[in-house]
Structure 1
Amino acid sequence: MRLIKAGQHKAVLLAGMLTLASLSGPARAGEEHEAQQFHEEPPVLATLLVDQLEHRWRDGENSVDWESRGWIGGDTHKFWVNARGSKPVEGGVEKAEFQFLYSRMVSEFWDVQAGIRYDVRPQPQTTYAVAGVKGIAPYYFDVTAQAFLSDEGNLSGRIEAEYDVLITQKLILQPLAEINLSAQRVRELDLGRGINNIELGLRLRYEVVKEFAPYVGVSWERKLGETANIARRHGEDPSDLAFLAGVRFWF
């Protein structure tokens, strides 16, 4: 009788083990599938933002100015292409700059960037090595800081900051500031040592849709230090005030 009961206990134990194995198989397969999905690389995305495409009215020669940036990549690694420039309404391009940068995320809000910058205008055409950071500072200021080393060994830098103030869901006020500085005098570009210039802007845009927004605004630029003295010697006003209208779009 005891042998029969022992045999029954073994049969029950074996059946339980088989049941657990059959249940754990799908569960383990599901866990492995989830783990595989977790370790998969994020999709490659791309975007292009034409941040400024505007006509500037000033006391003197009016101009068309533009600034755009686009990237392709994932959350951690991106490849950026930046472009900016300016041309008189009645003339050819006076300034045109292109940047090709590799960007790597180093924290939740900051990327480090490195690459090259190529200035087509003004003459002489110049190539620079670029290193910098880009991210969101406290209080949601969008900040970019870059250092440039030219093929002639001249070191310069640029700091940009902008901020979006939501007046309504569609009406947005954007103040921005830019500072340019140089470690040496660059006679070919009429630049002195120190802070070359500061530019302050204010743009009010209306987002017809998120991807398209016309705007109006004002921009004030002031050359400083040695750069201002060089401008005066050439008969130029070191201060420039412009009213502007343009469009901002992205896709």
Structure 2
Amino acid sequence: MRLLVVMLLAGAATPVFAQDHSGHAMAPAQSATQTDCGKEAAHHRAMGHPVPEGACVPEAQPAEPASSDHADGHAGMDHSTMGHEGMQSPQAPTDHGTMDHGATDMTPIPQGSPPASAGSGPPRAADAIWGAEAMRASRRALRTENGGMNVFWFQGDRAEYRAREGGDGYLWDVQGYYGGDFDKFWFKSEGEGTFGESPESAEIQGLWSHAIGPWWDLQAGVRQDLTGPERTHAVIGVQGLAPYMFEVDAAAFLSTKGDLTARIEAELDQRITQRLILQPRAEANLSAQDIPELGIGAGLDSIELGLRLRYEFVREFAPYIGVEQEWQLGQSADYKRLAGEDPSVTNYVVGVRFWF
């Protein structure tokens, strides 16, 4: 009986930690000294004070080595996709040379003429697919739609009231054409006079106009005078755009009476704004002989210099104001004086320029 009681007491006194923990890695127990140091350091930190230099600080415990199973479990994990706050995966350096910056195209524009191979194909390759007859009609339509059409154009270059000493007057200068890029029928008319009197001059021209270059037309036709001793003239001249954007109209006239005269007109549009335009203009008339019945002397007959400022409400409609000075020269000036007129006249003009 005594032996049984002793055995029962021995079994009850066995410590709990005496169980089998062979499957777990046990952390080494801390010494009493390390525990006391930890309490002292924690006390300083709880008071908001730094731990004094030389104070008892617990030694850092060596990190527990990961077991091979634990290491293997993390070896294949991609931490860049984990949602751990504060963790960042290393990034590869950015190659700015290969970045696409949107619409910026840095491809260089080819210079020089195209290679010979660009035109090496057959000139009528489409005939093999659609047939020569179908392509002939297509090419005819292409030529018509890209310069072969006939168009009508009309412009009132000057339609103006002229305030001047000795009686206010008027002037018209219109022109237009019907035709294509190379050949046109061109018509012109101009004249002037004093209000309450018969027109001083009036004429109309009908011309065939043929393009002799990108900027110039050769013109030939007839001119009919409508006032004074009526005359019919053969006309030959050129009209176009001279260097520096001067619009030039030059023509020679041979009348049925054998009189040879010439006229040169030039004007230049100087844009102050997109709608406000200053236009200087010059005109010179010449004659190969005296024509007393027309009041024209040989040589340089007259010169006109004008300056007009117009405003284009639309391109087709532009009122203007300006001033123009006229001089009769040489024998023509003498004819003016004999008629009781001043060979030099200043005109203050108000008019409109239009086209359609």
Cα deviation, 1:12-57, whole Å, max 9, x if unaligned, reads xxxxxxxxxxxx5259888656544444471110011011111000
Question: What is the CA–CA distance in structure 1 between the aligned matches of 2:140 and 2:311, rounded to whole Å?
Answer: 44
Does 2:225 match 1:114? no
Counterpart of 2:196 in structure 1: which amino acid? E
Question: What is the CA–CA distance in structure 2 between the aligned matches of 1:135 and 1:81, rounded to whole Å?
Answer: 15
Written as runs of structure 1 = structure 2, the 5 A alignment for 1:218-237 is 218-237=323-342
Counterpart residue number, 2:290: 185
What stretches of structure 1 of length at least 5 have no aligned partner?
1-23
Does 2:321 match 1:216? yes
Give the alignment's TM-score, normalised by structure 1: 0.86
Counterpart residue number, 1:242: 347
Higher RCO (CA-CA < 8 Å; seq separation 6+): 1
Question: What is the CA–CA distance in structure 1 between the aligned matches of 2:266 and 2:304, rounded to whole Å?
Answer: 11
What count of residue pairs does the alignment treat as equivalent?
228
Counterpart residue number, 1:137: 242
Question: What is the CA–CA distance in structure 1 between the aligned matches of 2:154 and 2:206, rounded to whole Å?
Answer: 14
Counterpart residue number, 1:125: 230
Give the alignment's TM-score, normalised by structure 2: 0.61
Does 2:305 match 1:200? yes
Question: What is the CA–CA distance in structure 1 between the aligned matches of 2:226 and 2:137, rounded to whole Å?
Answer: 51
Question: What is the CA–CA distance in structure 1 between the aligned matches of 2:204 and 2:135, rounded to whole Å?
Answer: 47
What stretches of structure 2 of length at least 5 have no aligned partner?
1-127
Counterpart residue number, 1:25: 129
Cα deviation, 1:65-110, whole Å, max 9, x if unaligned, reads 1110010000000111101111212223221110110000010101
Counterpart residue number, 1:45: 151
Counterpart residue number, 1:55: 161
Written as runs of structure 1 = structure 2, the 5 A alignment for 1:6-21 is none
Counterpart residue number, 1:14: none
Question: What is the CA–CA distance in structure 2 between the aligned matches of 1:146 and 1:57, rounded to whole Å?
Answer: 29
Question: What is the CA–CA distance in structure 2 between the aligned matches of 1:36 and 1:230, rounded to whole Å?
Answer: 59
Q: 1:101 to 1:29 in 2, by over 3 A?
A: closer
Does 2:260 match 1:155? yes
Counterpart residue number, 2:40: none
Which secondary structure state, in structure 1, belongs to the residue aligned with residue 289 of structure 2?
Answer: coil
Does 2:168 match 1:69? no
Counterpart of 1:159 in structure 2: which amino acid? I
Counterpart of 1:195 in structure 2: which amino acid? L
Question: What is the CA–CA distance in structure 1 between the aligned matches of 2:338 and 2:143, rounded to whole Å?
Answer: 62
Counterpart of 1:49 in structure 2: which amino acid? Q
